[in-house]
Structure 1
């Protein structure tokens, strides 16, 4: 029950898949879902399958510049454009036959776990939000990933890239992850590199790269400013207790700062455990929450 779909966000065509529950008759709720930093929709699809098997329709798509979606420059992680993509996906979903426009939920993971907080805080069409292994504080997370000794080099690179683009050169790109700890990458650490290498190369549209300007946008992203505004929309945070990519302590503090109604699921393991050995637990908790808040 998965079909290819596309919709427009700004002037860009975004592409993805619409999952409809096989056993459903009549109008059903829908969950809008997309991937994290330097990801692709294929990594989200297993969660959509769990949700659709339980009676929820799902709209899964690639961010602008990634996967099968259009958008230039390619591999630009732009929080503003990605947040608009979510909101335009909601609008598109509300036009679909058989979808209840009043029962729309959103799910985001990792970097998109930040976006869903902003979307839920600013778009009251959202009836429930799941934020999985989320980035919840932009600068605090950026500083946890970039050692102080590297900051001058990162900022010098960002400045040089801006100057080059002003003179007509293309966006500089860097690796999303690397096994060389001295290399400037978007997501440092061998854990990230190993997971990306195990799950990315078999997907034709995936590349181990992002624009350098993505890092500039990352350091100025502040989803924490929207956190308390999510209420009264029901919020579920799924946090990995050994997460060092979107650090557990930062996420747990953000959960404490969020207003009710809210629920916390603390999952054993590091960041990528929710996609691997803890998948059943993470997806099942999210499924049950969405069913409770949206209905089946």
Structure 2
């Protein structure tokens, strides 16, 4: 594995480039871009699980930290910015096509959770990407709009963002919040019992998946763009590449089960499949051998046939 960087506008995006065993630089290889979940980083599920296994299967893989996050550049830090995250994919393709050993006609993408939503959105307008897999792909814009499921959740959020931006414009410190509770004790004190939140804390805040490049920090004043963004906008017109959607059938508050079916139904792709992994939750498909193994029973032949 090689640590590399590529440009997005005026900053650098940090990435891990993995090369297959017995790599021969004189040959041409298919390549797959692997995108991490919301709040995650390249060292977690997208890189250590999915990119690693795809590399073992003979692909060049590129797992990157989203702009403003992890080891990537961009200011201000801890920003969750959908347009920038979509542009990251285009810049990743730009980087891959400069590598003599990458076959530019065989570039695919795999995104996990929010990375799946971003991957779908990017693939609509980046047709150098020839095939896409989403694993528990989630539409971050929908999540932001629903909030606490109140009728005015999106409007209330926008009002709060506006007030915080005004405060910061007048000299207040930035509001840095968290994606999830920092401990199970905090979650219990808040009365949260949803399976996705319970397992998110277990994944991100324990040795199971914890990584310093995923610090659970989110810049609140920068969230307005996400509230007005839809990962699947124009999928019925522009998403034409082969598509594989992988979801678990244990639903949680992140909504990846229903988002997966929405993407599948809306995509214009002439060749598309959906896999429902029975008994699997959102986070089971991050790193648990059984569910991940079932996912690869579809992912492996899908990329073999379409890249």
What TM-score do the two structures reach when normalised by structure 2?
0.86
Matches within 5 A, 1:20-169: 20-25=19-24, 26-43=27-44, 44-45=46-47, 46-136=49-139, 138-139=141-142, 141-148=143-150, 151=153, 154-169=157-172
Structure 2 counterpart of 1:233: 241
CA displacement, residues 63-92 of structure 1 (integer Å, 9 cap, x when unaligned): 112111112111111010011111001001
Structure 1 residue 174 corresponds to structure 2 residue 177: yes
User: What is the alpha-carbon distance in structure 1 between the residues aligned to residue 210 and residue 117 of structure 2?
Assistant: 27
Structure 1 counterpart of 2:266: 257
User: What is the alpha-carbon distance in structure 2 between the residues aligned to residue 284 and residue 68 of structure 1?
Assistant: 32
Q: How many Å apart are 1:24 and its aligned residue?
A: 4.4
CA displacement, residues 130-165 of structure 1 (integer Å, 9 cap, x when unaligned): 1111124733x3355423178365344212212123
Structure 2 counterpart of 1:288: 301
Structure 1 residue 213 corresponds to structure 2 residue 215: no
1:129–1:233: 8 Å Cα contact kept in structure 2?
yes
Q: In structure 2, do the counterparts of structure 1 residues 78 and 88 end up closer, same or farther at CA, with 3 Å as the change threshold? A: same
1:31–1:105: 8 Å Cα contact kept in structure 2?
yes
Q: 2:43 aligns to what SS in structure 1?
A: helix
For structure 2, the 5+ residue unaligned runs are: 182-186
Q: How many Å apart are 1:270 and its aligned residue?
A: 1.4
Q: How many Å apart are 1:274 and its aligned residue?
A: 0.6
How many residues of Structure 1 are paired with residues of Structure 2 in the alignment? 290
User: What is the alpha-carbon distance in structure 2 between the residues aligned to residue 149 and residue 183 of structure 1?
Assistant: 21
User: What is the alpha-carbon distance in structure 2 between the residues aligned to residue 28 and residue 160 of structure 1?
Assistant: 50
1:40–1:206: 8 Å Cα contact kept in structure 2?
yes
User: What is the alpha-carbon distance in structure 2 between the residues aligned to residue 180 and residue 160 of structure 1?
Assistant: 29
* Alignment partner of 2:197 out of 181, 189, 198: 189
User: What is the alpha-carbon distance in structure 2 between the residues aligned to residue 183 and residue 36 of structure 1?
Assistant: 24
User: What is the alpha-carbon distance in structure 2 between the residues aligned to residue 203 and residue 250 of structure 1?
Assistant: 27
Q: 1:271 aligns to what SS in structure 2?
A: coil
User: What is the alpha-carbon distance in structure 1 between the residues aligned to residue 107 and residue 10 of structure 2?
Assistant: 24
1:63–1:69: 8 Å Cα contact kept in structure 2?
yes
